[in-house]
Copies of this chain bind each other. A is one copy, B any other.
Amino acid sequence: MDKILELDRANLTMLVQAGRYYAAGGGCSFDRWTVLSARPGSMKISTIGGNVAENSGGLRGLKYGVTRNYVMGMEVVLPGGEVLWTGNKCVKDVAGYSLKDLFIGSEGTLGVITKGSAATDPKPQAKKTMVAKFREMDRAAEAVSAIIAAQIIPCTLEFLDRMTIHCVEAYAKIGLPLDCEALLLMETDGHPAAVAEEAAQMEKICRDKGCLELRVAKDDAEAAKLASARRAAFSALARVSPTTILEDATVPRSELAKMVRFVEAVAKKYNLRIGTFGHMGDGNLHPTFLTDERNKEEMHRVEEAFKEIFDEAIRLGGTITGEHGVGLAKKSFLPKFAGDAQMRVMRELRRTLDPRAILNPGKCSIDGSASKCRLRQQSERRRKIS
Contact = CB atoms under 8 A, between A and B. Distances in A.
Interface string A310-321: 000000011111
A314 B87 CA distance: 12
A105 to B, nearest CB: 5
B334 A95 contact: yes
Contacts of A351: 352
A57 to B, nearest CB: 4
Contacts of A153: 122
A84 B341 contact: yes
B253 A10 contact: yes
Nearest to A122: B151
A87 to B, nearest CB: 10
B339 A348 contact: no
Interface residues of A, number: 89
Given A94-B324, A250-B92, A99 B284 contact: no
A104 B349 CA distance: 16
Nearest to A85: B339
A318 B94 CA distance: 11
A92 B32 contact: no
B84 A345 contact: yes
Interface in A109-135: 110, 122-123
A89 B314 CA distance: 11
A90 B341 contact: no
Interface string A184-227: 00000011011001000000000000000000000000000000
A8 B319 CA distance: 18
B317 A88 contact: yes
A101 B55 CA distance: 12
Interface stretch (A63-71, A235-243, A263-271, A296-304): A63-71
Contacts of A35: none
Contacts of A323: 92, 94
A46 interface: no
A122 to B, nearest CB: 4
Contacts of A96: 326, 334, 337-338, 342-343, 346, 364, 366
Interface of A: 8-12, 32-33, 54-55, 57, 61-62, 65-66, 68-69, 78, 82-86, 88-99, 101-102, 104-106, 110, 122-123, 145, 148-149, 151, 153, 190-191, 193-194, 197, 250-254, 279, 281-284, 317-326, 330, 334, 337-339, 341-343, 345-346, 348-349, 351-353, 364, 366
Given A54-B94, A190-B191, A190-B194, 11 more contacts: A65-B69, A84-B341, A88-B319, A90-B282, A91-B284, A93-B322, A94-B323, A96-B326, A98-B104, A191-B194, A193-B193
